[in-house]
Chain A
Amino acid sequence: MATNVRIPAPLLSLTDGKTVVAIEGSTVRELLDSLEVEFPGIRERLCDQAGELHRFVNIFVAREDIRFLDGLDTSVHQGQEVSIIPAVAGG
């Protein structure tokens, strides 16, 4: 089941400039695995050696930050949009 994943500007060079890509996976972790298969090198930009998200990377599933859900084990259902966003800030 493919999910639309929104790719942030710093990673566009790895996805041939595509800002939204359709990826297979039923959890965020699986989506990252599939992303790495399709766009090698993307995983190390997002995760550290231990496989955890870098401090400055946020992933949203249906507009909810996965840190409020189940982290990388958050389920992803059909039709939900997933966004990868660098930590931004105030105004």
Chain B
Amino acid sequence: MANEIGLRCRECGRSYEVLPMHVCSFCFGPLEVDYDYAAVKRVISRQSIEAGPPTIWRYADLLPAEEDDSVDLGTGYTPLIKAGNLARRLGLGELYLKNDTVNPTWSFKDRVVSVALAKARSFGFTTVACASTGNLANSVAAHAARAGLSSYVFIPADLEAGKVLTTAVYAPNLVAVNGNYDDVNRLCAEIAAEFGWAFVNVNLRPYYAEGSKTLAFETAEQLGWKAPGSVVVPVASGSLLTKIDKGFRELAQVGLIDEALPRIFGAQAAGCAPIATAFKAGVDVIRPVKPDTIAKSLAIGNPADGYYAVNAVTASGGAVEDVTDEEIVAGIELLARCEGIFAETAGGVTVATLKKLADGCRIDPAGSVVAYITGLGLKTVEAIEGRVSPTATIEASVDDFRRALSLSGGTEGLPTLDRAIG
């Protein structure tokens, strides 16, 4: 059950009641949900969690909403896959992939939306909304349809077709805005102030963001109730990274894991890397940028949690790196070819960054590493268009097939079939 006691400003510490608001009335600092951790500690245990549903709601004691209010499409408790092939390729000893591509709308956003809509319902909202680079739009539209709530979903007009169609199919009010994501975000802040809707990532943001902690909770549980040595997290606003950090800390605080917390590594696209830039310069002041990258889901030029992300990374002994668009696509392909997982561009950013860190000996090859794969590749098929295609196109004859085989000259990986055919 929900153990939250209120909201607190991360900057000035002022407290507020549990209300649909996201910024401090005094200093504009972001508000965060505050819990009665003593009460949580009394009720939570490994057993109580293990007895829970195979979804994010097994962690309800550390989420700011009631499972009864939830709009559950079956989100979370996604596979933690041991990636032996990729580990060997990268020279790492123990690598796991948290595969969030399998969520109901194929991205980790289902976690934050499931929590946000539960909260929206408890506040009595009948219209939900969001500003999105795609995955959030998809998730809000689907969950709103299931919940019977009206929805307004705002996206940049140039979003990938996969994301537009997979959102539109649920029949939300889908508004394509001529601008980049930061423009859409600004517009939604203005609309949220006027229209009184539940914008999941505006006025419900403190509750919404808490859903991301479940990625840390599940990782620890699936590793046998311990934190990994290192985690690699894609970074857009910085919220996911800071909440994964918070999730591990909370588990330690309520006694579910011991204090050894992971090193946190952030992954950004070079074409939009304000947080990586700040980290590398040794500062926590974020200079906004104009995004220019194929990784549209990470294209936030003015990341609101950037300051906190840099500090969380620094405190953990990790780093933030960035990779080029070419490296991103190579990352998508490497993941698919090594482990059979097809990730969107954000996943390519994560894998490419992991590779960069491993190649540069900046991630401990002896400790366990968990990389978060946050969205499915079908959402950004444009990234691999023109790079992958059929190996051959033939007539329906064995001779044609033999011809194709001999032309390919026994391509790397292709078995010679002559023995099998006989």
What residues of chain A have their CB less than 8 Å away from a CB belonging to chain B?
6, 8-10, 12-13, 19, 45-46, 54-58, 60, 63, 65, 67-68, 83, 85-91
Shortest Cβ distance from A48 into chain B, in angstroms?
A: 9
A-B contact pairs, 7 of them (CB 8 A): A10-B24, A10-B25, A58-B186, A83-B186, A88-B22, A88-B186, A88-B202
A9 to B290, CA, bound (A): 26
Which of A6, A13, A65, A86 lies at the interface centre, i.e. has the most chain B CB atoms within 10 A of its CB?
Answer: A86
A90 — which chain B residues lie within 8 A by C-beta? 133, 136, 201, 236-240, 300, 303-305
Check B401 for interface membership: any CB of A closer than 8 A: no
Among the stretches B26-34, B326-334, B336-344, the one at the interface with A is B26-34
Q: A19-B194, A67-B287, A67-B288 are in contact. Are A88 and B29 (CB under 8 A)?
A: no
Residues 227-250 of B at the A interface (beta carbon under 8 Å): 236-240
A58 — which chain B residues lie within 8 A by C-beta? 186, 302
Asked if A88 contacts B28 (CB within 8 A), the reply is no
Q: A56-B11, A63-B186 are in contact. Are A88 and B201 (CB under 8 A)?
A: yes
Asked if B186 contacts A85 (CB within 8 A), the reply is yes
Per-position binary interface string of chain B over residues 1-38, scored 1 when its CB falls under 8 Å from any chain A CB and 0 otherwise: 00000000001000000000111111111100000000
What residues of chain B have their CB less than 8 Å away from a CB belonging to chain A?
11, 21-30, 109, 130-133, 135-137, 179, 181-183, 185-186, 188-190, 192-194, 200-203, 205, 236-240, 285, 287-288, 290, 300, 302-305, 307
Shortest Cβ distance from A45 into chain B, in angstroms?
A: 7
Shortest Cβ distance from B100 into chain A, in angstroms?
A: 15
B132 — which chain A residues lie within 8 A by C-beta? 91
Asked if B186 contacts A87 (CB within 8 A), the reply is no
Shortest Cβ distance from B416 into chain A, in angstroms?
A: 49
Q: A54-B27, A57-B28 are in contact. Are A88 and B193 (CB under 8 A)?
A: no
Asked if B201 contacts A89 (CB within 8 A), the reply is yes
Residue in contact with B237 in the complex, picked from A45, A60, A89, CB distance below 8 Å: A89
A87 to B194, CA, bound (A): 17
With A86-B189, A89-B239, A90-B300 already in contact, 16 other A-B pairs whose C-beta atoms are closer than 8 Å: A6-B190, A9-B192, A19-B194, A56-B11, A58-B186, A58-B302, A67-B288, A85-B186, A87-B28, A88-B131, A88-B186, A88-B188, A88-B304, A90-B304, A91-B131, A91-B133
Asked if A89 contacts B190 (CB within 8 A), the reply is no
Asked if A91 contacts B130 (CB within 8 A), the reply is yes
Q: A56-B23, A65-B288 are in contact. Are A91 and B136 (CB under 8 A)?
A: yes
A10 to B288, CA, bound (A): 23
Asked if B300 contacts A56 (CB within 8 A), the reply is no
Which of A57, A85, A89 lies at the interface centre, i.e. has the most chain B CB atoms within 10 A of its CB?
Answer: A89
Shortest Cβ distance from B291 into chain A, in angstroms?
A: 12
Asked if B201 contacts A45 (CB within 8 A), the reply is no
Asked if A86 contacts B300 (CB within 8 A), the reply is no
Q: A63-B183, A67-B287, A83-B190 are in contact. Are A89 and B304 (CB under 8 A)?
A: yes
The 7 closest A-B pairs by CB, nearest first: A90-B237, A89-B237, A89-B304, A91-B136, A91-B132, A87-B304, A86-B23
Which of B25, B236, B287 lies at the interface centre, i.e. has the most chain A CB atoms within 10 A of its CB?
Answer: B25
Considering the complex, give the chain A residue whose CB is closest to the CB of B26: A45
Residue in contact with A88 in the complex, picked from B11, B109, B185, CB distance below 8 Å: B185
Residue in contact with B23 in the complex, picked from A10, A46, A60, CB distance below 8 Å: A10
A8 — which chain B residues lie within 8 A by C-beta? 23, 189, 193
Shortest Cβ distance from B234 into chain A, in angstroms?
A: 11
Which of A19, A46, A90 lies at the interface centre, i.e. has the most chain B CB atoms within 10 A of its CB?
Answer: A90
Shortest Cβ distance from B339 into chain A, in angstroms?
A: 26
A10 to B185, CA, bound (A): 17
A8 to B304, CA, bound (A): 16
Considering the complex, give the chain A residue whose CB is closest to the CB of B9: A56
Shortest Cβ distance from B343 into chain A, in angstroms?
A: 18
